[in-house]
């Protein structure tokens, strides 16, 4: 097994990753080789994920070793902000050509590293492996080692060629690169009992800066953020932190866990999204620091800040209540941020519709996260017309979702707000939630909606394309209902597990053939449920439905 | 006359170039009911998709064969088959356009062979056209991918016509290069139609990604030229190709169906549009409509008003070959000096650009050479360079992700050229250096004193 394969295996065995807890040994091994569905897949590659995770380190030169596709089509497309160096926004790629493909690209890579060091003098170069050089056997680990020795500057190999898997695998492989080559190689100028790391925060749209002033006020120092607005030296000396917060996405769990193991840095999983979550996170940071020796009065100061900020935030949200009360929001987003957002929207008087989330009692929190994660997956899988149908069925006033559904919403003349990665607005901390409510209000109260929804005077309203699209969707549904064979086929082809693209039929067949009785077994047999685990509920549903029919059949037999 | 050189650097810094397969995919998007499919790993498609979504601000159809590490070694037959079958089922396209990538070209997948096998096995796909183009990432660039794809579409989908077969006298094929926007195509359509002729565009992005509210939601492209229309291109009276990159496609069409063609290396500027209007008048046998006489005179007037501000201006341009040719030729005609010209790939006209050197390079090269220029012209990725250089920046080309209306930027025809004179001229005016007591001795430039401009009339 190659060293990359070992790495991938290692990452999949991550014990701190909740996703893995439900997996059998067999499934874990399969994890890395599982096929995506050709013609039905969406989403970035592992290289994309690695770059997302590391590029926010601002003073490093990020060099992509591969053909122009990997970097040329994608650079400068993310919103991570920097308070210092801009080098991270300069794009470097070897742009390998046919000759490199035939004779190998290692020399080309080595020369590129030298050029970068000569011209830009960064504290370090990160070299990203991509598919083609991986296929032709370029050993970038060896090239980086040689370059480090020759030039006396750290040159870090990030081995995550796109074809090993999806984005989130790339996040983790990026984490491994930091653990292997960067973290622990530097020393901070001084340390304090109030030093923390924030792991998995990328400072998109400057979100970290909505949080940092509060930490500053409390005397808590971000020794290193991994990786938003970070400098190389900070990451290199991050092992001296007293505690860490892992920002709620499993993206960099391996860093958090391994740093705990190696350097005794305890961590917790938290979020900066939402007023309640923000407060919880501040408390957790204070608690961990106190546990590690900080003065317990830190907690009193933290509580005071929380009380002040919460009151201020609610007070600032209140004026919007009048206009927003009763407005219906269709919220579709991945699990991590949703819960927090839900609370703020409800506080502003809005109602959630159309998603699996109806009300938000704290006890349901995890379940809601799970359900919303599933919704977010579902929408990625929908055809545009289905999405439109869902929009009009929901009768929502505004849709909040990731970028993918933006144009469907807008073409349907539905107010829309981006709460995903590429957004331009920062929604973190207390400040961020107020901003979110303000943005929703701004979108809803814009005077364009009435104008754009009015048909042209010469157009017969009945004949509008919206009406037609809905009629067609209904006709399709009717056709399916009238044809039992087709209906069955449609039912069986409904995707259950979106991460691993497994449909109902496959799961049912496996359950019947192997007499499976638990979700675990289903996952082992079909891979379904081996990703974000959001579909476990649905798999359980299928299990019990089949068990019921079987029982009925037995009864019928006996009777 | 310019010397065309390749950048000698090992490391590309701030790429100007984009890859071939997504150029090909964009060409397929000019077909109606199309699903472009990149044969490679999922990331390649994801990057291309995001790029086009940000540029056009539209939902974009594009799929992947999702090659895993193992599949790249074993070959992609199974993946191509599954992808086609899945797309056929989910999206019901008229045509699936497959472009290879670096990953699958390194292995050397025989996709044409795969398609034959897949066709034999799946008669249900008989109604769906499948066109495959080889577009390795590690060779050439975006423009080549576009051009190659259009040629392949002609080879595969146009029906052969006997030389003596009757021609639809009124119908004109237009083969636009990838540097033309949907707005440009609308302009050309207007011009051709005004002579009572019927233009058909291959590819037709003005039908599919022209920034409008669609009539329907489909997972494939909606609008663009249909496969059926493509089949009949051989019966048109004439072909107009725009951009040197389209020569191969125009020749293929001529060879296959005997349609004669005229190639315009650009349609920005006075003379090329005169030629176009003259050709259309000849083909249609109609007099030149009043509209164009008027617009021509408006362009002439704009050039007169503008030339004060364009004269001796130092320009740095980074663009794919045909766009570079078009813009630099026109600006030269307006009295500008092209100080720096950087492009992405080879092209037969590059040596004729009036500048010392045309470099096949990147935006770092352009930035180095643009120091002290009055204007930087390139796609949106030039924004950091323009900021560092402190010179005005005019966005042209793809991607244009930080401005609205990329699809509607129109620079062809009399009207498009006239508007370009205004847009660029206004940038010069806005950035004119007002002389003061310190600098007036050195400043011999015309400022935004329109009084003197009128006086000179
Ligand atoms: S899948 Fe591979 S070749 Fe494609 S963009 Fe990702 S790293 Fe590059």
CATH number at residue A273: 3.40.50.12380
| B66 ligand 1 Cβ < 6 A | no
In a domain, A455, yes or no: no
Asked whether A170 lines ligand 1 (CB < 6 A), one says no
Q: Chain A: residue nearest B52 by CA?
A: A73
Domain identity same for B338 and B257: no
Q: What domain range is A402 assigned to?
A: 318-446
Residue B8 forms part of a structural domain: no
Lowest-confidence range among A38-47, A285-294, A419-428, B249-258? A419-428
Domain match, A309 and A347 both: no
Tell whether B149 and B174 lie within a shared domain: no
Give the end-to-end CA distance of chain B in Å, rounded to a whole number: 33
Quote the number of domains for chain B: 3
What is the pLDDT at residue A84? Answer: 92
A71 neighbourhood in chain B, CB within 8 Å: 12, 15
B130 and B221: one domain? no
B315 and B274 both lie in a single domain? no
To the nearest whole angstrom, how far is the Cα of A518 from the nearest Cα of chain B?
29
Q: Which residue has the tokens 């040719």?
A: B325
- B349 and B275 in a common domain: no
Give me the domain span that covers residue B20.
Answer: 16-154
Q: Which of B99, B130, B154 is the last residue of a domain?
A: B154
Q: Is residue A467 part of a domain?
A: no
User: Ligand 1: which of A70, A91, A135 to mutate, most ligand atoms within 8 Å of CB?
Assistant: A70
Q: Is A161 in the pocket of ligand 1 (CB under 6 A)?
A: yes
pLDDT at residue number A53: 94
Ligand 1 close to Cβ of residue B46 (< 6 A): no
In A256-383, DSSP assigns E strands to 267-270, 328-331, 351-352
Name the least confident of A514-518, B102-106, B180-184, B278-282.
Answer: A514-518
Looking at chain B from residue 86 to 145, which residues have their Cβ under 8 Å from any Cβ of chain A?
86-87, 90-91, 101-103, 106-107, 136-139, 141
Counting residues of chain B whose pLDDT is more than 70, the rounded percentage is 94
Judge if the beta carbon of residue B41 lies within 6 A of ligand 1.
yes
Give me the torsion for CA of B283, B288, B294, B295, rounded to 10°: 0
State pLDDT tens for residues A499-521.
Answer: 666 788 888 888 888 888 888 88
Q: Which residue has the higher pLDDT, A422 or B178?
A: B178
pLDDT, position A365: 57
pLDDT of residue A13: 66
Per-residue pLDDT at A252: 87
* A211 & A303 share domain: yes
Peptide bond into A369 cis (omega under 30): no
The residue ranking higher by pLDDT, A540 or A377, is A540
* Residue B416 covered by a domain: no
How does pLDDT run across B414-453, given as a tens digit for each residue? Answer: 999 999 999 999 999 999 877 677 665 554 444 444 444 4
Answer whether A179 touches B (CB < 8 Å): no
We report the CATH number of the domain holding residue B127 as 3.40.50.1980
Residue A30 has pLDDT above 50, yes or no: no
Q: Within this chain, do residues A29 and A176 fall inside the same structural domain, yes or no?
A: yes
**Ligand 1 site, residue B47, Cβ cutoff 6 A:** yes
- How does residue A375 score in pLDDT terms, banded at 50, 70 and 90? low
CB contact under 8 A, A469 and B216: yes
Highest mean pLDDT among A267-271, A299-303, A536-540: A299-303
Burial A233-260 (b: 16+ CB within 10 A, else e): bbbbbbbbbbbbbbbbbbbbbbbbbbbb
- Kindly state the average pLDDT of the residues B144-171: 90
| Residue B150 sits in the same domain as residue B193 | no
Ligand 1 atom closest to Cα of residue A131: 2
- Mean pLDDT confidence for A36-54: 87
Residues B21 and B150 in one domain: yes
Residues A32 and A120 occupy one common structural domain:
yes
The pTM for the full model equals 0.88
The chain B residue lying nearest A68, using CA atoms, is B19
Number of domains in chain A: 4
Q: State residue A359's pLDDT score.
A: 45
Same domain membership, residue A301 and residue A352: no
Chain A within 8 Å of B10 (Cβ-Cβ)? yes
pLDDT at A340 over 80: no
When pLDDT is averaged across residues A282-297 and rounded to a whole number, the result is: 96
Size of interface A-B (CB pairs under 8 A): 224
Report yes or no on B29 lying in a domain.
yes
Closest ligand 1 atom to residue A66 Cα is 8
Residues A376 and A416 in one domain: yes
Q: Are residues A495 and A417 in the same domain?
A: no
* pLDDT given at position A400: 82
Domain match, B132 and B252 both? no
B435 class by beta-carbon count within 10 Å (0-12 exposed, 13-18 middle, 19+ buried): middle
Which class for B322: exposed (0-12), middle (13-18), buried (19 or more C-beta within 10 A)?
A: buried
Final residue belonging to a domain, choices A282, A301, A316: A316
pLDDT-derived band at A491 (thresholds 50, 70, 90) equals: confident
Residue with tokens 């003065």: A295
A377-B96-B20 Cα angle (round to 5): 90
Rounded mean pLDDT, A19-40: 53
More confident residue, B410 or A39: B410
Please check whether residues A142 and A237 belong to one and the same domain.
no
Q: Are residues B285 and B196 in the same domain?
A: yes
pLDDT score recorded for residue B99: 98
* Å from CA of A478 to ligand 1 middle: 42
Q: Which of B245 and A382 is assigned the larger pLDDT?
A: B245
With a cut of 90, say whether residue A338 has pLDDT above it: no
Least confident of A62-66, A88-92, A201-205, B288-292: A201-205
**Higher-scoring residue by pLDDT: A94, A551:** A94
What does the block give as tokens for A420?
Answer: 């995903």
CB contact under 8 A, A98 and B138: yes
Q: Does residue A433 belong to any structural domain of this protein? A: yes
Domain end (from A389, A419, A446) = A446
Q: Quick: pLDDT tens for B363-398.
A: 999 999 999 999 999 999 999 999 999 999 999 999
Question: Helix H segments across A137-207?
Answer: 140-151, 167-181
d(CA A97, CA A427): 42
Residues B244/B245/B248/B252 CA torsion (nearest 10 deg):
-100
Do B229 and B330 fall into the same domain? no
Domain endpoint, select from B154, B180, B209: B154
Residue B257: inside a domain: yes
pLDDT at A335: 45
Residue finishing a domain among A125, A146, A181: A181
For the cut 50, the answer to whether the pLDDT of residue A314 exceeds it is yes
B63 and B20 in a common domain: yes
pLDDT, mean of residues A191-195: 96
For residues A266 and A349, membership in a common domain is answered with no
Q: What is the pLDDT of residue A90?
A: 96
B25 with B149, same domain: the answer is: yes
Q: Please give the structure tokens belonging to residue B137.
A: 């990432």
Q: Does a structural domain hold residue A457? A: no
Question: Per-residue pLDDT tens for A114-148?
Answer: 999 999 999 999 999 999 999 999 999 999 999 99
Task: Please state, rounded to an integer, the average pLDDT across all residues of chain A.
Answer: 83
ipTM over 0.90: yes
User: Residue ranges of the alpha helices (H) in A182-265?
Assistant: 208-218, 232-236, 253-263
Residue ending a domain, choose from B107, B127, B154 = B154
Least confident of A248-257, A356-365, A410-419, B323-332: A356-365
B418 part of a folded domain: no
């Amino acid at each position: 097994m190659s060293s990359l394969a070992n790495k991938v295996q290692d990452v999949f065995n991550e014990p701190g990753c909740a996703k893995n807890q439900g997996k059998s040994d067999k499934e874990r091994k399969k994890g890395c080789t599982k096929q995506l569905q050709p013609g039905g897949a969406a989403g970035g590659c592992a290289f994309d994920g690695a770059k997302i995770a590391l590029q926010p380190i601002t003073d490093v030169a990020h060099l992509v070793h591969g053909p122009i596709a990997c970097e040329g089509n994608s650079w400068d497309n993310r919103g991570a902000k920097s308070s210092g160096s801009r080098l991270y926004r300069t794009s470097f790629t070897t742009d390998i050509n046919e000759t490199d493909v035939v004779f190998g690209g290692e020399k080309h890579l080595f020369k590129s590293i030298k050029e970068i060091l000569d011209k830009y003098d960064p504290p370090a170069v990160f070299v990203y492996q991509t598919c083609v050089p991986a296929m032709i056997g370029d050993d970038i680990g060896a090239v980086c080692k040689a370059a480090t020795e020759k030039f006396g500057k750290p040159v870090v190999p990030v081995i995550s060629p796109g074809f090993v898997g999806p984005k989130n695998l790339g996040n983790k492989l990026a984490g491994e690169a930091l653990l292997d080559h960067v973290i622990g190689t530097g020393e901070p100028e001084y340390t304090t009992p109030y030093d923390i790391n924030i792991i998995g925060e990328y400072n998109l749209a400057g979100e970290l800066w909505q949080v940092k002033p509060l930490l500053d006020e409390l005397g808590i120092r971000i020794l290193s953020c991994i990786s938003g607005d970070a400098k190389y030296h900070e990451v290199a000396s991050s092992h001296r932190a007293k505690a860490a917060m892992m920002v709620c996405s499993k993206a960099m769990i391996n860093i958090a866990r391994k740093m705990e193991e190696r350097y005794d840095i305890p961590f917790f999983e938290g979020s900066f999204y939402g007023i309640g979550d923000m407060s919880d996170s501040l408390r957790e940071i204070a608690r961990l620091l106190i546990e590690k020796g900080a003065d317990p009065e830190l907690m009193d100061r933290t509580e005071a800040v929380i009380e002040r900020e919460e009151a201020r935030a609610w007070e600032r949200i209140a004026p919007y209540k009048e206009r927003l009360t009763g407005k219906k929001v269709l919220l579709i987003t991945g699990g991590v941020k949703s819960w927090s957002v839900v609370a703020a929207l409800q506080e502003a008087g809005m109602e959630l519709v159309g998603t699996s989330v109806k009300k938000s009692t704290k006890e349901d929190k995890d379940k809601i996260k799970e359900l919303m994660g599933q919704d977010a997956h579902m929408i990625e899988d929908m055809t545009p017309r289905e999405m439109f149908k869902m929009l009009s069925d929901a009768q929502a006033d505004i849709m909040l979702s990731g970028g993918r559904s933006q144009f469907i919403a807008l073409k349907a003349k539905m107010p829309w707000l981006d709460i995903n990665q590429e957004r331009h607005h920062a929604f973190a901390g207390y400040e961020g939630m107020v901003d979110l409510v303000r943005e929703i209000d701004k979108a809803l109260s814009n005077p364009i909606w009435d104008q754009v929804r009015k048909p042209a005077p010469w157009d017969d309203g009945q004949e509008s394309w919206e009406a037609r699209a809905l009629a067609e969707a209904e006709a399709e549904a009717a056709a399916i209902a009238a044809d039992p064979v087709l209906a069955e086929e449609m039912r069986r082809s409904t995707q259950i597990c979106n991460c691993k693209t497994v449909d109902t039929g496959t799961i049912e067949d496996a359950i019947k053939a192997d007499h499976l009785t638990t979700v675990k077994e289903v996952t082992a047999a079909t891979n379904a449920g081996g990703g974000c685990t959001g579909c476990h509920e649905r798999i359980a549903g299928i299990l019990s439905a089949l068990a019921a029919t079987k029982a009925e059949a037995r009864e019928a037999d006996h009777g | 006359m310019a010397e065309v050189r390749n950048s000698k650097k090992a490391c590309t810094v701030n790429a100007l170039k984009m890859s071939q397969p997504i150029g090909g995919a964009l060409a397929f998007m000019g077909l109606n009911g199309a699903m472009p499919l990149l044969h490679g790993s999922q990331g390649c498609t994801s990057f291309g998709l995001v790029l086009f979504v940000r540029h056009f601000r539209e939902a974009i159809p594009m799929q992947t064969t999702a090659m895993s590490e193992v599949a790249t070694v074993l070959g992609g037959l199974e993946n191509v088959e599954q992808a086609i079958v899945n797309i056929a089922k989910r999206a019901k396209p008229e045509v699936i356009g497959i472009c290879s990538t670096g990953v699958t070209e390194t292995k050397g997948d025989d996709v044409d062979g795969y398609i034959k096998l897949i066709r034999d096995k799946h008669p249900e796909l008989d109604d769906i056209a499948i066109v495959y183009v080889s577009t390795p990432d590690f060779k050439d660039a975006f423009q080549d991918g576009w051009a190659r794809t259009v040629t392949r579409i002609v080879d595969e989908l146009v029906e052969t016509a006997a030389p003596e077969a009757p021609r639809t006298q009124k119908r004109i094929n237009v083969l636009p290069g990838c540097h033309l926007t949907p707005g440009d195509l609308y302009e050309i359509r207007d011009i051709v139609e005004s002579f009572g002729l019927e233009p058909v565009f291959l590819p037709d992005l003005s039908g599919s990604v022209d920034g409008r509210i669609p009539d329907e939601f489909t997972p494939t492209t909606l609008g663009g030229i249909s496969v059926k229309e493509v089949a009949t291109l051989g019966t048109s009276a004439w072909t107009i190709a725009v951009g040197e990159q389209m020569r191969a496609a125009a020749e293929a069409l001529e060879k296959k169906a005997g349609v004669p063609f005229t190639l315009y290396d650009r349609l920005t500027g006075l003379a090329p549009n005169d030629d176009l209007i003259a050709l259309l008048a000849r083909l249609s046998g109609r007099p030149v409509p009043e509209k164009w006489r008027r617009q021509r005179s408006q362009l002439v007037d704009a050039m007169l008003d503008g030339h004060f501000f364009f004269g001796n201006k130092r320009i740095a341009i980074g663009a794919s070959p045909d766009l570079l040719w078009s813009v630099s030729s026109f600006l030269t005609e307006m009295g500008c000096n092209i100080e720096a010209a950087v492009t992405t790939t080879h092209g037969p006209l590059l040596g004729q650009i009036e500048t010392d050197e045309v470099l096949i390079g990147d935006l770092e090269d352009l930035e180095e050479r643009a120091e002290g220029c009055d204007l930087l012209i390139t796609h949106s990725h030039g924004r950091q360079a323009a900021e560092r250089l402190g010179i005005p920046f005019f966005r042209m080309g793809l991607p244009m992700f930080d401005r609205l209306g990329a699809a509607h930027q129109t620079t062809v025809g009399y009207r498009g050229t006239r508007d370009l004179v205004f847009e660029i001229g206004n940038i010069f005016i806005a950035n004119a250096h007002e002389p003061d007591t310190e600098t007036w001795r050195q400043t011999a430039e015309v400022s935004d004193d329109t009084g003197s401009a009128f006086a000179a009339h």
